Structure 1
Amino acid sequence: MLELHELSTSYGPVKALRGVSFTAKEGAITAVLGANGAGKTTLLRTISGLLRPTSGTATFAGTDLVGTAPEKMPRLGLSHVPEGRGVITELTVEENLRLGGLGRGGKVRGDDLQRVFDLFPVLGERRTAVAHVLSGGERQMLVVGRALMARPRMLLLDEPSLGLAPRVVAQIFSLLRDLVAREGLAVLLVEQNARSALSIADHGVVLNLGAVVADQDAASLAADDTLRHAYLGF
């Protein structure tokens, strides 16, 4: 579904991505792992059009993404959930969700809202609450739900576990796994919590200083002691 070939991105003279190539398949979770500064967030920002690569290609379902404006990505079927749980705190839960549905064009349907409330019952219970009263875990559910309102074919998720309690992380990761199994959604998951990410991923890609140092199935990656100790910290 997503194919990257020799993708490179720079911040001025600093090369943040160095010839990154890998494929993320439909109906699968691909975990992108690595230490701080490895290039994980830059990778997602490049795919979603927030940064323009200096070289290489990125294609999604056969469509060239290089040069595509970020606001056009939802209509192609890509939804990017950046790091930081960026909800609009002055709006209600339902209003935040409805904004997510606008990205694909047309009216927001009631069944899209109900689908998110079925996935995240706590959001249904708090649909009229303003977002600033939500806990960190609830805000993370809200930003994922908002991305799902565009009915994407692929989710780009940046550090969804950051700052959350292990119980909440397990809940969110379990929901992601269910979504992939039930709806065939593809997920590109950037995570610092490598152990948790590999427990739900089908495939893993490890970045180090902007370059791919491993690209293999998640189970093999988790079992590779040398790689884990050198790049993943467990």
Structure 2
Amino acid sequence: MLTIDRLTVGYGPVNALHEVTLSAEKGEITAVLGANGAGKTTLLRTVSGLHRARSGTVELAGQPIGCVPAEDMPRLGMAHVPEGRGVITELDVEENLRLGGLGRGGRVSEEDLSLAFDLFPVLADRRAQQAGTLSGGERQMLVIGRALMARPSLLLLDEPSLGLAPRIVAQIFAMLRDLVRDQGLTVLLVEQNARSALSVADRGVVLHLGRVVADEQASVLASDDQLRHAYLGF
């Protein structure tokens, strides 16, 4: 589904990623793990067209996308949920969800809305509520639901657990597994919460100072005590 080959990305004279190579297979969750400054967010921003690589390639379903503008990515089947739970606070929940369909050039149907409400029943209860009044966990559910309105085949998620209670994190990660199982969605998940991410991921990639230091099945990474202690903090 997604293939990244020898990707080098920089800001000014400094490289944030150094010849990063990895792939995210169709119908799987690939977790990208590492400490602050490892290059995780830069990786997602480059994949989604928000930042340009210095060298290397990115392909989606065999198609090179390194020069595709970010605004065209939804039409290719990609949705990016950046860190920060960026809802449109002045709009209500339903209006925020409907905005998610604009990227693919289509209108959001009641069937589309039902998908988000089935995944996150609390959003159905808040359907007419202003998004600015939602809790942090509800906002995270809303931005994920809004991304799904574009009907993506590849979902990029940046730190969805940041600042959330463990119960909400478990709910969001369980939802991701359901989407992968039921709809064949491919997920590239950037996380600092390595334990939770590896519990739902099929594969894990560890970045350290912009370089890939491990790329294994999630269960293998989770059981590698030396690697976990050195790079993942648990």
The alignment of Structure 1 onto Structure 2 pairs a total of residues equal to: 234
- Once the 2 structures are TM-superposed, how far is the Cα of residue 64 of structure 1 from its aligned partner? 0.9
- Once the 2 structures are TM-superposed, how far is the Cα of residue 114 of structure 1 from its aligned partner? 1.0
Q: Which residue in the other structure is 2:112 paired with?
A: 112
Amino acid at match of 2:12: G
Is residue 204 from structure 1 mapped to residue 204 from structure 2 by the alignment?
Answer: yes
Question: Secondary structure at the residue paired with 2:122?
Answer: helix
Is residue 101 from structure 1 mapped to residue 101 from structure 2 by the alignment?
Answer: yes
- Once the 2 structures are TM-superposed, how far is the Cα of residue 110 of structure 1 from its aligned partner? 1.5
Q: Which segments of 5 or more consecutive residues in structure 1 lack a partner in the other structure? A: none
C-alpha offsets along residues 65-110 of structure 1, whole Å, 9 cap, x if unaligned?
1010000000100000000000000000000000001110122211
Is residue 73 from structure 1 mapped to residue 99 from structure 2 by the alignment?
Answer: no
Q: Segments of 4+ in structure 1 off by > 3 A? A: none
Give the distance between the partners of 2:145 and 2:106, measured in 1 at CA.
18
- Once the 2 structures are TM-superposed, how far is the Cα of residue 226 of structure 1 from its aligned partner? 1.0
Q: Which segments of 5 or more consecutive residues in structure 2 lack a partner in the other structure? A: none
Q: Which residue in the other structure is 2:165 paired with?
A: 165
Q: Which residue in the other structure is 1:23 paired with?
A: 23
Q: Which residue in the other structure is 1:11 paired with?
A: 11
8 Å contact kept, 2:75–2:103: yes
C-alpha offsets along residues 144-180 of structure 1, whole Å, 9 cap, x if unaligned?
0000000000100000000000010001001111110
Is residue 36 from structure 1 mapped to residue 33 from structure 2 by the alignment?
Answer: no
Question: Secondary structure at the residue paired with 2:198?
Answer: helix
TM-score (norm 1): 0.99
Identity of aligned residues (%): 71
Give the distance between the partners of 2:93 and 2:226, measured in 1 at CA.
44
Question: Secondary structure at the residue paired with 1:152?
Answer: coil
Question: Secondary structure at the residue paired with 2:139?
Answer: helix
Is residue 216 from structure 1 mapped to residue 213 from structure 2 by the alignment?
Answer: no
TM-score (norm 2): 0.99
Give the distance between the partners of 2:69 and 2:42, measured in 1 at CA.
16
Give the distance between the partners of 2:108 and 2:198, measured in 1 at CA.
34
Give the distance between the partners of 1:106 and 1:168, measured in 2 at CA.
31
8 Å contact kept, 2:98–2:107: no
Q: Which residue in the other structure is 2:151 paired with?
A: 151
